[in-house]
Structure 1
Amino acid sequence: MSQNAVNSDILQPQLSDEQKNLNQQMCNLLADSPSGLPNSQGPVIWEGIGMNNVLTQFLTVNPPIDDWTGRIYRDELVLVTPPSFSCLGEDDPCVVETRCDRYDKFTGPWLSIALHNLWRVMRAEIKGYDRAIEKFDANNQELAKLLFGQTAFGRDRQVFDVGAFFSGFLLGVQLVLPVFSAGGSFAVALKGLVNQGIKQAIKEIPLNVGDDPANDGAPFVDSLRSSFKPVQDNLRGLLRGYMDTGVTNLFFQATIADTVNFLQNGALLNAITESDEELIEAAARNIVKQTAAGIVAGIWNEQGVRVGVLNERRCDRSLCAIDPDGCGEFRFLASDFNPVVCLELGIGRDSDFRLRATLARLELNVEDITKNAATCPQASRVFPPPDTDIISFGFPQCTFPLQLN
């Protein structure tokens, strides 16, 4: 039997009537949802027709080398070979057909769209770093200067501790991917590469925030640009490595099972309804958020900022006039806590009247920050906090390890 015949048998396995019906149902859904399947149906078809087994068999016979994703799409799956097709880089022409009738094999749309969505997500993350730099650099580094000039509590708000910057920057940027809620080999791999890139930057690149970052943000932006480059290079390496040779970790040899599992059992088939521009913007905003969070946490840690955890009655504004501490601007009722409590960020301190608006510009909000601090275990209240996969109110657990009052 020829190699083409072997590949055809693998990619077009015999299906039961039930599997055929499922495949047709999903094709009907795909016709109205070209970015992927709606209602999280991706894993249903992936598991229903045994895509992991199909891909494992194919890669066993055809080892993932020399642009395996491009070759399987062009040579095996799509009916009309495109004039150019590649998913190796973030600017490559990675465009796939989104209708089942455009494929030679019924497995074609499912594998192709999963690979394309993987490329879209990674492309957005890579380009998100450039967009984040643009945000910090815009209008004469306005956002960078706000980060250092309007986020501190108390009378020394204009004094910036460079040591706090370095401590905060060590936290890196934790990715929150648009396709996955948490976990999975793909998300873990990306997070590892980001952290590795940040550590490399800290070790090799002389970070510099200048003498007065509140009034001159250029040195900080230049440091970000240099520090983000290793992260982007790692992400580019993973994108190219996976699409070219099935690499799932830049530091270890991938097995066929690793390559197959990287597609998340069909989660990548779920519709990504955002445009490419919206994905990049979302990635950039998250990078700004997580970068700013580490630095703000470092500043507040140096200042000894505390979080008040009070009886819920202390949030009754009618009692503020007789409350010895008054009711601070950042006091609110945490109704999603059990038991319900009254929380206050920066209890006992004055704050810059612009602080809430400044935090919003940095994609941060008082409530999530305060809840992250309040739920940090007492034993973990060290700065910088240890690395963790636990997400607490939009941040890694204990991003804000502030003392409780």
Structure 2
Amino acid sequence: MIETREAISEKAVLIGIITQHQNEKQSKEYLDELEFLTLTAGGVPVKRFTQKLERPNPKTFLGTGKLEDVKAYIESHNIGTAIFDDELSPAQLRNIENFLDCKVLDRTNLILDIFASRAQTSSAKAQVELAQYQYLLPRLTRLWTHLDKQKGGIGMRGPGETEIETDRRIIRDKITLLKKKLATIDKQMAVQRKNRGKMVRVALVGYTNVGKSTLMNVVSKSDVFAENKLFATLDTTVRKVVIKNIPFLMTDTVGFIRKLPTQLVESFKSTLDEVREADLLLHVVDISHPNFEDHIASVNKILDEIDSANKPTVMVFNKIDAYTHETIDEDDLVTEKTKAHYSLADWEKTWMNDLEKESIFISALNKDNLDNFKEKTYDEVRKIHVQRFPYSDFLYQEY
């Protein structure tokens, strides 16, 4: 079973590469995110290592010289964990562990670990456990040869790692059982969606930690768990919402992330089905995040992969209260972060309001501009509702 205990804080080094497909700026952004992931998992990032490579070394990911530098730092500073920003092949993982003589995790393992700590319901636990077993299956050699090093902590929540449980046949059997269990859950959720009738369905989508659950709470007057951490909620939450005289269903979905493990995309099929079957998407964006444009692109990429990119969409730029921008003091040329104090009129003059999709600027936490958000949502829901029920349009004439 998956352990849900909190990881004991452990020191870790973060490792990334700069390639022709990932420049220095992107590498820094990814390592910033990897640091947040590590903190979320309970680790303490103490140093970063990057190397410029045409392509990752197929045997050790990094070059031999850089790996020597990492080993020297780990040994001199008593570091127990090395975390790589890309998914390592089973051979790379085994070779790096042998060389560094410490626990080695990759981005996929780290994300799976966070999901394991967040899973609360039977459905979420089964989804995460399936993804973990699919990740572990080709890496069983590592577990056979390094059982003495498995002390728990980050990356070690999840399927047990005794010899009998790492047997390939047993792992495959567990994967088969979990798939059957999830197939049953998917059928139940499909029946639930069918029983909701023809009500318009609105899905909140977006990068992780952009404020979807907070917005859900404000609009639906419900109490969905919200926390300033990555993947605070994994379970799909559906609430009935009424704006003016139109009822509709609003769904809060799991947050997306760059380099989302393929195992999670497959195992979280039922969650993604809520997005696929939605009539309207509210794409929530944390406008205060310096890389929010990359976040938009990442979410759009995943939406495209699940055939949902062309759905009617409203771009909801959230956290306008937390937005900061750089200003330069002309006297001493010092660049500093300051509050922009942009008005809504200022926001509406930006390029973000010139997108092909509808846009709205809000602060769900402070409830800024929520009336306009509800009005815009109502307008979009009404368009769909009237198409579905053509003779009901006269009911809304007074609005």
- Which structure has more relative contact order (CA 8 Å, sep 6+)? It is 1
Greater radius of gyration (CA)? 1
Q: Higher strand proportion, which one?
A: 2
TM over 0.5, shorter chain: no
Q: TM-score range by the shorter chain?
A: under 0.3
TM normalised by structure 2 equals 0.23
TM-score with structure 1 length normalisation?
Answer: 0.23
- Pick the structure with more helix per residue: 1
